[in-house]
Amino acid sequence: MEGLNELAFVLGGVNHWITVFLIMAGLYIIVSRSNMIKKLVGLSIFQTSVYLLYVSPGKIIGGTAPIISDDFAVYSNPLPHVLILTAIVVGVATLALGLALVVRINEAYGSIEEDEVYSDGDWN
Amino acid sequence: MRGHLILRVVSKLLIPFLLLFALYVQFHGDFGPGGGFQAGVIVAAAFVLYALIFGLREMQRIIPPAALEVAVPLGVLIYAGVGVLTWFLGGNFLDYGMLDSHDPSHGQHLGILLVEAGVLLTVASTMLLIFYTFAGRGR
Amino acid sequence: MLIDQFPAIVVGVPLVAAALCAIVRNETACWLIALAVAFLSFVGSATMLGQIQEYGVALSYEMGGWAPPAGIELRVDLLSGYLLVLVSLIATAVLIYGRQSVRVEIKESIRGWYYTMYLLCMCGLLGIVITGDAFNAFVFMEISSLSMYTLIALGKDRRALAAAYQYLIMGTIGATMYVIGVGLLFTITGTLNLVDMADRLAPLLDTPAAIAGMAFVVVGLSLKIALFPLHLWLPNAYAFAPSAVTAFLAATATKVSIYLLMRFIYSVFGFGFAIEQTPIPEVVMVLSIAAIFAGSFSAIFQENIKRMLAYSSVAQIGYITLGIALANATGLTGSLVHIFNHAVMKGALFMLVGGIALQIGTVRLSDMAGVGKAMPLTMFGFVLGGFSMLGVPGTVGFVSKWYLAIGALENGWWWVVALLMLSSLLVLAYMGRVIEVAFFRERPEGAPPISEAPKSMLMTAWVFILACIYLGFDTSFTVGVAQQAVDVLMGGAQ
């Protein structure tokens, strides 16, 4: 029975495990890569973890779409979805701005490798 | 893109339906899943498809970037304008119920319709503008 | 009643005006719109603060007519009113100040966009302060941050682009951490309204989700605050942004995040839990003192004056967070007073440096030899601002350090007071270097003649310098409001 409890713990929180994995994967890419585009990819993965974190608890097993009707009593919470719609828009805006900056950096420096950009010129 | 006959024909067939679907999503927004964000992205996707197949220059002839630069803030103004209008009607900011003096739920319908129209305009033109900006840059 | 609509006017009108500016795009028209709107926000904020002080009741505004906690609530109490006045005041002043320098530093074709971004940034910063909804605060945070990245990237140096990119990565990590924390709290409480969340969280504080949520929120906001050692984005962002942007950024952006951190620590989690039962005070204490010393030491070795002042900001942020760590009313008062005081004096210093940059074309220390003779008013203002940073009695710097020191003594931490004194010596070292070069070295032979900065820039900077001295003597506004705000913060929790 011990093992079963642990299995239930692992499977029951599977959405959280995936969230944690995405957080760590995103952060790892941001920290370990020096290519600016790859860093932005990492940033996007990191932000994606939030979407899962919010949306997955909103689903109620056996619940329907949140439409008011006499036939249904249990329905999923619509609020997380609306919040995450906003967060996705924010994520898109951040990614677009980040990419625009990288394009400009590439034009100004001729490189998008972070160690080359930051070692170039006097930063003091 | 002279040679790609199949791509051209298929995309010409697809684009009207994409736009129609966008309108469906847009107007379905106050009853069920949908709304200006999703519809705006679908509209933008249809135009991006057109630009990919027929070239950026052709697309920019139809919708010039300068028009988009006006459309983005215009959408925000429509959204915020509804809010300002509700102020003048004596309600709180974005209190749609004020828009109809007889039945607040009618006002809410009207308000959400206007607001979603603003959102559609802003999202579609922003997405297309992002595409223009990146696609227009040479290497 | 018109005043009931003020909370929405203060943040709503800048948003509308930003869209208008993006359509108009004529430089003068945009500037006039921005100035009018910023001033309107300032008047609105000041009126609300006066109202709250008089009646002692927080203003609450139901966005769209939906009642909280389901609807989004705009909430102005003493603390947020205080920050609103600060942000809108600085925004107005920097607009007046920045007209000339923007003309030099930013290409004509994008000046309209500059004012659009400026208004959006102001709207975001005011929004973070005024909103009573945790997720809404995130949205406003991203509005202000995204426009701030754009503003920084407008700097004419190409390093501004790299600095903006660095800030974008760090800032987004911070904001995402914050929203993860809010998500965990939302999962266990089912509400996003801060007041409601505090009520529902009270019996749940010991659960792992609440503690994890608190950790995420605190770390995320610390990144936004640039609390040492998460300050790496700050020096470059301040150093390479256009002068007007630096003055605005330095005086407002980090302060607003500190406000949000205080809200979460004191109002949502509560003094009894966040301060007394978690290691937050100890951790913040160590980091604040590290920030004060690391920031000041780094400042001493900078060649670029804007970068030097930026590192000094890292140190000054350390003073502000130190007040949180002291965990008593006097310390927190010092911290709140220093938010205002630091904004005023650092804003003034960056404005003066912007004038120097405009006249001599660089902000490198080695190029500043003899500037004191050529630009006496600017450099005299710089000296007074330096005194204030040092904490000389009769300036604002003294007032806030005094409260921090008293707060430390109340806890019996005399060594904190000793460290505060010691850190002032470091301030003397780096400000002294600038003053030495500017006044006691001759301008090199053959260098082009220079004159004072344009009147509008100099006057705005001097208004702030004089405010540094005036508020150093008459503390009734800053300390008065701060003490009342502390009563609200601590009283709600104990």
Tens digits of residue pLDDT in C374-413: 888 888 889 999 888 888 888 888 888 899 999 999 888 8
Residue from C491, C404, C389 nearest C79 by CA:
C491
Instruction: Tell whether A82 lies on the interface with B, counting CB pairs under 8 A.
Output: no
SS3 of C454, please?
coil
Q: Going by C-beta distance under 8 Å and a sequence separation of 6 or more, which residues neighbour residue B89? A: B98, B99
Mean of per-residue pLDDT scores for chain C: 88
Query: Min CA distance, A13 vs chain C (Å)?
Result: 13
Position A94 in a domain: yes
**Tell me, what's the pLDDT at B102?**
76
Judged by CB atoms closer than 8 Å, whether chains meet at A103 and B134 is answered as yes
B105 in contact with A, Cβ within 8 Å: no
**Cross-chain residue pair B87–C5, CB shorter than 8 Å:** yes
Query: What residues of chain B lie within 8 A of the CB of A65, using their CB?
Result: 32-33
Q: Tell me the average pLDDT across B60-74.
A: 91
pLDDT of residue C348: 92
Mean pLDDT of C286-315: 91
Q: Do B95 and C8 touch (CB under 8 A)?
A: no
- Work out the number of other CB atoms within 10 angstroms of the CB of residue B58: 12
Token reading at C17: 């005006």
Length of chain A in terms of residues written: 124
Is the pLDDT confidence value at C445 over 80?
no
Please state the rounded mean pLDDT for residues A6-16. 81
Best to test chain A binding among C131, C136, C149, C168 (most A CBs inside 10 Å): C168
CATH, residue A52:
1.10.287.3510
Nearest CA in chain A to C180: A50
Please give the average per-residue pLDDT across C338-364, as a whole number: 89
In this prediction, residue C255 carries a pLDDT of 92
Å from A1 to nearest chain C CA?
Answer: 25
Would you call A67 and B37 a contact, using CB atoms and an 8 Å cutoff?
no
Higher pLDDT, A110 or C445: A110
Out of A30, A93, A98, the one facing C165 most closely (by C-beta) is: A98
| Residue C353 predicted with pLDDT over 50 | yes
Tell me if A14 is assigned to some domain.
yes
- Contact (CB<8Å) B92/C22: no
CB contact under 8 A, B77 and C23: yes
Higher pLDDT, A121 or B33: B33
Q: Alpha-carbon distance C54 to C48, whole Å?
A: 10
Which segment of C53-62, C202-211, C232-241 scores lowest on mean pLDDT?
C53-62
Judge whether B138 is closer than 8 Å to chain A, CB to CB: no
| Concatenated DSSP letters of B46-87 | HHHHHHHHH-HHHHHHHS-HHHHHHHHHHHHHHHHHHHHHHH
Distance CA C25, CA C107 (A): 13
pLDDT surpasses 70 at B123: yes
A108–C contact, CB cutoff 8 A: yes
- Considering only CB atoms, B84 lies closest to which of C16, C22, C65, namely C16
Distance from CA of C463 to the nearest CA of A (A): 30
Of the listed ranges C40-44, C120-124, C391-395, the least confidently predicted one is: C391-395
Q: What is the pLDDT of residue B126?
A: 92
Measure CB to CB from residue A109 to each of C135, C158, C303 and give the nearest one. C158
Look at residue A112 and tell me if it is in a domain.
yes
Question: Would you say residue A124 lies in a domain?
Answer: no
Among residues 90-119 of chain C, which lie with CB inside 8 Å of chain B? 116
Q: Does A123 score more than 70 pLDDT?
A: no
Q: What's the CA gap between A109 and A106, in Å, rounded?
A: 5
- Domain of A68 in residue numbering reads as 2-119
Helices C305-326 and C329-360 cross at an angle (nearest 10°) of 170
Decide if C17 contacts C24 (C-beta within 8 A). Answer: no
Any chains having at least 3 CB pairs less than 8 A from chain B are A, C
Mean pLDDT over C122-139 rounds to 92
What confidence score (pLDDT) does residue C481 get? 86
CA distance linking residue B55 with residue B11, whole number of Å: 13
Whether A85 and B137 lie within 8 Å, measured CB to CB: no
SS percent in chain B: helix, strand, coil, step 5: 80, 0, 20
CB contact under 8 A, C18 and B87: no
The alpha-carbon gap from A124 to the nearest alpha carbon of chain B, in Å, equals 31
Contacting A residues, span 36-75, partner chain B, CB-CB under 8 Å? 65, 67
Q: 3-state SS of chain C: helix, strand, coil percent to 5?
A: 80, 5, 15
Q: What is the pLDDT of residue C492?
A: 52
Amino acid at C191: T
Judged by a CB distance cut-off of 8 A, whether residue A55 touches chain C is no
Per-residue pLDDT tens digits for C266-298? 888 888 888 888 888 889 999 999 999 999 999
Where are any strands of DSSP class E within C45-85? Answer: 59-62, 73-76
Residue A40 domain-assigned (yes or no): yes
Asked if residue B2 has pLDDT above 70, the reply is no
pLDDT band at A124 (very low <50, low <70, confident <90, very high): low
Q: How many domains does chain A have?
A: 1
- Is A47 inside any structural domain? yes
| Contacts with A93 from chain C: Cβ below 8 Å | 142, 146
State the smallest CA–CA distance between residue C428 and chain B in angstroms: 48
C449 CB near a chain B CB, below 8 Å?
no
- B130 and A89: CB-CB below 8 Å? no
**For testing contact with chain A, the best of B130, B133, B134 (most A CBs within 10 A):** B130
pLDDT of residue C493: 40
Lowest mean pLDDT among A26-35, C173-182, C194-203: C194-203
Task: For residues C194 and C350, give the distance between their C-alpha atoms in angstroms, rounded to a whole number.
Answer: 35
Q: How many CB atoms lie within 10 A of CB C7?
A: 30
pLDDT, mean of residues C352-364:
86
Of residues C142, C162, C172, nearest to A117 (C-beta)? C162
Name C188's bridge partners.
Answer: none
